[in-house]
Amino acid sequence: MALSRSFDRNVHVFDPQRPEEPLGGLYLNPSVTKGKFLRMLAVFIHPNGHYKVWREGAEAALNSSAEPLEPGRYYIIRDSPDVAITVSHEQCITRAYSRTVSRRDRHFREQVRARDGKCVITGNSNPAAHRGYWSGFEAAHIFPSSHEELFKALDFPRHITLKAGCSDSGINSCQNGLLMQSNVHQQFDSFGFGIDPDDSYKITFFMEDAFGLDGRILDPACRNPEDERKVW
């Protein structure tokens, strides 16, 4: 039997009117601050009005600070208790882990390798790059390439300045890519961690951090503001 998704979570969120039915939760790693947690809640909790968040046993509401979040039970306290809280049912955009083979994917891979030269998550360089040997390093799409139509519908091509032509969406531009070690790439594609551009490009794991990467900063090799190939 499959384990419940909440089995190893140590942060749980509740509507105080239904204290036995958690709205959601997470596995807490050190990079999650109080401010980041509040931003996470704003994505999937819709209280239809103003609210505060209280940790069970705390003397004050949670503030948006850089202080580490504590494990425990958190309650969404609305200004008006008769206003309902709803949880977003927007589906997650799945990533398909694969090794690229098409012509445009080969170009994507080569451009990402040339720009980064290392795993931008771990910081490990490829000592064999000078002879074109890249085993163990893979170019990962930030926005999944399998969802190009959604990429266009969200008007993300406007962020891409390096395109093959006017009909190119830019989803296979190196500006939508990062070089990662193969095992890290697999964790990225399964949403084991994310990169927060609103928190200095900090890496945050949403599960057990097997690689000791939680809290690291995305390597600057891929985001040099003077490089036109920088990630968007």
**Could you read off the pLDDT of 108-132 as tens digits, one per residue?**
999 999 999 999 999 999 999 999 9
Q: What is the pTM of this model?
A: 0.87
Per domain, the residue ranges of the chain are: 11-87, 103-222
Question: Can you give the pLDDT at residue 2?
Answer: 43
Give all strands (DSSP E) within the chain, no chain letters. 11-14, 24-26, 45-46, 51-55, 72-78, 86-87, 137-141, 177-181, 193-196, 202-205
pLDDT tens column, 126-159: 999 999 999 999 999 999 998 999 999 999 999 9
* Sign of the alpha-carbon torsion through 73, 78, 82, 88: negative
SS3 category, 124: coil
The DSSP 8-state label assigned to residue 34 in this structure reads H
Give the CA angle between residues 46, 49, 55 to the nearest 5°. 70
**Residue of 86, 88, 90 whose CA lies nearest to 49:** 86
For residue 75, which of 118, 32, 17 has the smallest C-alpha distance?
A: 17
pLDDT single digits (tens) 61-112: 999 999 999 999 999 998 877 777 888 877 777 776 555 555 668 899 999 9
Q: Please give the pLDDT value at position 104.
A: 65
